[in-house]
């Protein structure tokens, strides 16, 4: 049976689109006036009537249709107990990582690839060092590890300078391994993505290192042994 679309239906659709466009314009105008430094990437209706979902980098905000009120927090579907905000954040994280690109990460690849994780790491962090000391175990499980730097002591710290030197080394993988063993790495400077990594970590809400981001954009804060990480990744696959 064909779906009949009448002139009245088209009028309603047109009105809906006009209202949505007007709401989006109001929201953008409100941000431009009050927070001009904020770069909006997307605006779309949220699951809750009267609210719009606004994507800002790796953050999701909720704004009233007139652009007057802003909510920052989690939107939960009570019936299904689903964190709707986390689902959106996972997608934004993946998009952000893709924008950084693998050419700006230090990657350890197994012979047979089964999984990929991105890890924010601090060279001087104890659990980061523990994780890397077991790199062969992760490789044996087929886990590709993409490292991004997040020196917790901040820019200009010893950990930050080590990260820059590692990136500028002739063999970044070998230099990172040496640095995590507390071995001296030649001090070097060059164009590097360390600041970009740190900003991304801030956007992702990194509170400590290591922080693992999966292929689905989900986060596992802290160290996970290779076997446990595989279990988590497998559970993630089944859930999707």
On the question of pLDDT at 18 being above 60, the answer is: no
Whether residues 44 and 112 fall in one domain? no
CB neighbour class for 67 (10 Å; exposed up to 12, middle 13-18, buried from 19): buried
175 with 219, same domain: the answer is yes
Determine the Cα–Cα distance for residues 74 and 177; give it in Å rounded to an integer.
Answer: 38
In a 10 Å sphere around its CB, with 0-12 CB exposed, 13-18 middle and 19+ buried, how is residue 2 labelled? exposed
Domain ends where: 27, 56, 87? 87
> What is the structure's pLDDT at 171?
97
Q: In this structure, is residue 176 part of a structural domain?
A: yes
Within a 10 A sphere around the Cβ of 112, how many other Cβ atoms? 9
Mean pLDDT of the 152-173 span? 96
Check if the beta carbon of residue 166 is closer than 8 Å to that of residue 179. yes
Q: How confident is the model at residue 21 (pLDDT cuts 50, 70, 90)?
A: low
Cα distances from 222 to residues 26, 127, 134, 226, in angstroms, run 41, 8, 15, 13
* In a domain? residue 124: yes
Least confident piece of the model among 90-104, 117-131, 141-155: 90-104
Cα 23 to Cα 38: distance, rounded to the nearest angstrom: 18
Average pLDDT, the chain: 88
pLDDT at 11 over 50: no
**Do 65 and 154 fall into the same domain?**
no
Give the residue from 87, 85, 74, 68 showing the smallest Cα distance to 29. 68
Helices 84-100 and 194-204: crossing angle in degrees, nearest 10, is 170
Q: How many domains does the chain have?
A: 2
Q: Among 54-58, 61-65, 123-127, 227-231, where is mean pLDDT lowest?
A: 54-58
Catalytic residues, which ones? 122, 125, 128, 152
Query: Are residues 79 and 108 both part of a single domain?
Result: no
The percent helix, strand, coil of the chain (3-state, each to 5) is: 45, 20, 35
At residue 59, the pLDDT reads 82
Give the DSSP H/E element, type plus range, for residue 59.
Answer: strand 59-64
Same domain, 81 and 108: no
**Same domain assignment for residues 168 and 198:** yes
Q: Are residues 122 and 208 in the same domain?
A: yes
- pLDDT reported for residue 60: 86
Does any domain span residue 189?
yes
- pTM beyond 0.75: the answer is yes
Helix ranges (H only) for 101-171 are 126-133, 135-140, 158-168
Q: 36-83 pLDDT, tens per residue?
A: 888 888 888 888 888 888 888 778 888 988 888 888 888 888 888 888
Query: In this structure, are 81 and 120 located in the same domain?
Result: no
Q: What angle do CA 169, 197, 136 make, to 5 degrees?
A: 60
Residues 33 and 70 in one domain: yes
- Measured CA to CA, the distance from residue 236 to residue 95 in angstroms comes to 18
Using alpha carbons only, give the angle 71, 100, 151 rounded to the nearest 5 degrees: 80
Does pLDDT of 101 surpass 50?
yes
């Amino acid at each position: 049976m064909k779906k009949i679309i009448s002139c009245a239906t088209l009028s309603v659709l047109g009105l809906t689109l006009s209202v949505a466009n007007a709401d989006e314009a109001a929201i953008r105008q409100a941000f431009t006036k009050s927070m001009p430094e904020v770069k909006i990437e997307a605006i779309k209706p949220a699951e809750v009537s009267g609210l719009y979902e606004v994507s800002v980098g790796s953050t999701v905000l909720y704004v009233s249709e007139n652009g007057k009120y802003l909510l920052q927090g989690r939107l939960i579907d009570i019936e299904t107990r689903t964190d709707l905000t986390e689902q959106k954040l996972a997608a934004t994280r993946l998009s952000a990582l893709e924008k950084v690109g693998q050419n700006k990460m230090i990657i350890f690849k197994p012979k047979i690839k089964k999984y990929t994780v991105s890890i924010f790491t601090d060279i001087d962090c104890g659990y980061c060092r523990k994780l890397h000391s077991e790199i062969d175990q992760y490789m044996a499980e087929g886990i590709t590890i993409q490292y991004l730097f997040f020196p917790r002591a901040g820019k200009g710290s010893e950990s930050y300078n080590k990260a820059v030197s590692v990136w500028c080394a002739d063999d970044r993988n070998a230099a990172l391994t040496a640095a995590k063993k507390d071995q001296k790495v030649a001090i070097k400077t060059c164009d590097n993505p360390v600041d970009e990594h740190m900003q991304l970590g801030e956007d992702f809400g990194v509170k400590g290192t290591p922080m693992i981001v999966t292929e689905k954009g989900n986060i596992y804060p802290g160290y996970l042994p290779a076997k446990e990480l595989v279990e988590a990744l497998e559970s993630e696959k089944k859930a999707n």
